[in-house]
Homo-oligomer: A and B are copies of this chain.
Amino acid sequence: SRSIRLAVIPGDGIGQEVVAQGLKVLGAVLPQDVKLETKEYDLGARRWHATGETLPDAELESLKEHDAILLGAIGDPSVPSGILERGLLLKLRFAFDHYVNLRPSKLFPNTATPLAGRPEIDFVVVREGTEGPYTGNGGSLRTGTPHEVATEVSLNTAYGVERVVRDAYERADARPRKKLTLVHKNNVLVHAGHMWKKIFDAVGEEYPEVTTDYLHVDAATIFFVTQPERFDVIVTDNLFGDILTDLAAAVTGGIGLAASGNINPTGAFPSMFEPVHGSAPDIAGTGKADPTATVLSTALLLRHLGYDAEAARIEEAVAADLAARDETPRTTGEIGDALATRVAG
């Protein structure tokens, strides 16, 4: 009989609540013969306050023993900015070499968008996850004085760019429209930008059926709001991907619906799935959090592990649930129940 060894990091704020619904739906969708073995990890603000630890080595080692990780949300106003982000979330992405940060964006029927005219939106951003300005490479001199100098270094390697660009071509090639857009800022960030563009063009020769396009990041934000239907697959750097996927979430109905996967396609380390939203401490414990983004993240998780049919069932359940939504407010648990019922039925 098959099994999925799943590490669960509920994290902070609404993390606990939304992860519970994700697990509920996972349990409901999986065939009887698949055993879901979960192990919970107590990481995040509480742990840091109690012990000063963000991600001890022993836990990092233990996490490796799993097939995948489901993460809720990390961060709390009581913890200085950067500590949990870099000490836990980014540490996991880097330690497990999650070089494909996959973020699909789809405007479902019957959901609110701030855009007039409800354009058709159905694209996926392949965000590089292990390089760029996220490497923690920087420092400051004469810190806190009027003579302070602070640097942040964006590190980019041909090795790192080539593998994520190739992954994006594969995804574009597998989609009906077969279109791939590179987003960078190669008129200013010429060294990194030209390397990205050169590799993008070179790998493209192996995918003659994929139509390609290049946009500067500033121009890309314009098209996200004026012409989002032009995008199919987007590949971009770590920081530009961070910015663009929040904007993408906003135009497709909000971060309550945006799923993501931090993927190591080689399988050398467990991949990690998480909603794009944060810990939303202002609504934690109120039952107001929408668990849909987490549930959609479990679909990405299942697809990564080869459970394609089950992943599709979850996505169909979400689409059906959104189509049936009316103004009646539902709690986090009620939305989870509704989705669990749909995937089981």
* Bound: A221/B188 CA distance, A: 21
- Chain B residue at minimum C-beta to C-beta distance from A242: B218
| Chain A, range 217-251, C-beta contacts under 8 Å to B | 217-219, 221-222, 224-226, 239, 242-243, 245-247, 249-251
Among B139, B145, B191, which residue has its beta carbon within 8 angstroms of that of A158?
B145
- Interface flags, A135-148, vs B, CB<8A=1, else 0: 01011101111111
Among B116, B144, B192, B218, which residue has its beta carbon within 8 angstroms of that of A116?
B116
* Bound: A185/B138 CA distance, A: 14
Flag if A217 contacts B188 (CB, 8 Å).
no
Indicate whether A285 reaches chain B with its CB closer than 8 angstroms: no
* Bound: A222/B243 CA distance, A: 9
Flag if B156 contacts A150 (CB, 8 Å).
yes
Flag if B192 contacts A86 (CB, 8 Å).
no
Contacts of A146 in B (CB 8 A): 158-159, 162
Among B75, B192, B217, which residue has its beta carbon within 8 angstroms of that of A138?
B192
Indicate whether A268 reaches chain B with its CB closer than 8 angstroms: no
| Chain A, range 124-163, C-beta contacts under 8 Å to B | 133-134, 136, 138-140, 142-159, 162
- Chain B residue at minimum C-beta to C-beta distance from A143: B195
| Chain A, range 190-232, C-beta contacts under 8 Å to B | 190-195, 197-198, 217-219, 221-222, 224-226
| Chain A, range 28-59, C-beta contacts under 8 Å to B | none
Flag if A133 contacts B154 (CB, 8 Å).
yes
* Bound: A247/B239 CA distance, A: 16
Flag if A190 contacts B154 (CB, 8 Å).
no
Indicate whether A255 reaches chain B with its CB closer than 8 angstroms: yes
* Bound: A242/B162 CA distance, A: 27
Indicate whether A109 reaches chain B with its CB closer than 8 angstroms: no
A114-B226, A226-B250 in contact; A191/B221 too (CB < 8 A)? Answer: no
| Least distance between A277 CB and chain B CB atoms (Å) | 10
| Least distance between A243 CB and chain B CB atoms (Å) | 5
- Interface flags, A317-328, vs B, CB<8A=1, else 0: 000000000000
Q: Which 8 A-B pairs have the closest CB atoms?
A: A218-B246, A148-B158, A221-B247, A222-B250, A152-B154, A150-B191, A116-B116, A85-B187
> Can you add 8 more A-B contacts, CB < 8 Å, to A148-B158, A149-B155?
A85-B188, A133-B189, A140-B194, A151-B153, A185-B239, A188-B239, A217-B243, A226-B254
19 contacts between A and B (CB under 8 A): A82-B193, A113-B116, A114-B115, A114-B117, A114-B225, A116-B116, A140-B192, A148-B158, A150-B157, A150-B195, A151-B154, A151-B156, A151-B191, A154-B154, A217-B243, A218-B246, A218-B247, A219-B246, A222-B247
